[in-house]
Amino acid sequence: MIHPLSDVQSTHIGSGTRIWQFVVVLPGARIGSDCNINCHVFIENDVLIGDNVTVKAGVQLWDGLRIGNGVFIGPNATFVNDHIPRSRQYPEKFLNTVIGEGASVGANATILGGLKIGCGALIGAGSVLTKDAPPFTVWYGNPARQTGYIARDGCLLDMHLRAKDDGRQYVFSDHEPIPAND
């Protein structure tokens, strides 16, 4: 479904993807299947979006952004692709930023260019990410600092891999926290 009040110039839109009103998608952008692109989103040419991605309102996705499957991007999240921007002076190539499968970027977070956000990582609302976020880590603040871990099931863990809600212990298996009893 592409809303008639959007301007979608790309022909590379996967099946089942919904694009809402007042969205602009430039011709070189590639968007996967079953995505939900909310209103007031701008997607530049050199942007790759995987399957099952949600992009909330007020987000601009600039050249060089690579978004994995199942990613959530909260409202008004900001992505930077040039560390030294100047009016009408463009780098030969914009910085690539990679967001791994299943990661979440909270509302109003700012992600500096050239970073990698690992699979399942969580960047908290309003945070300013200035360095790579490894898989299944949780980051908050300005500048963002790692405050814990997150399991694939969404359970938040402290820095000692204990569940924040009930203290259950987790361990790492293949770079991913899993319950210690499994």
Q: Per-residue pLDDT tens for 33-56?
A: 999 999 999 999 999 999 999 999
126 and 164 both lie in a single domain: no
The tally of domains found in the chain comes to 2
80 and 98 both lie in a single domain: yes
Q: Walk along the chain (182 residues) and give the pLDDT tens digit of each residue.
A: 999 999 999 999 999 999 999 999 999 999 999 999 999 999 999 999 999 999 999 999 999 999 999 999 999 999 999 988 899 998 889 999 999 999 999 999 999 999 999 999 999 999 999 999 999 999 999 999 999 999 999 999 999 999 988 989 999 998 899 999 75
Question: What CATH number should be reported for the domain holding residue 141?
Answer: 2.160.10.10
Domain that holds residue 4: 1-150
33 and 50 both lie in a single domain: yes
Q: How far apart are CA 149 and CA 59, in angstroms?
A: 26
What tokens were used for 11?
A: 């022909």
User: How many CB atoms neighbour CB 131 within 10 A?
Assistant: 12
120 and 181 both lie in a single domain: no
86 and 158 both lie in a single domain: no
16 and 78 both lie in a single domain: yes
140 and 162 both lie in a single domain: no
140 and 168 both lie in a single domain: no
117 and 75 both lie in a single domain: yes
Please give the C-alpha separations between residue 20 and each of 56, 75, 123, 131, 132, in angstroms, as whole numbers. 10, 14, 25, 32, 31
Q: What is this structure's pTM? A: 0.95
Query: Is residue 7 within 8 Å of residue 40, measured between CB atoms?
Result: no
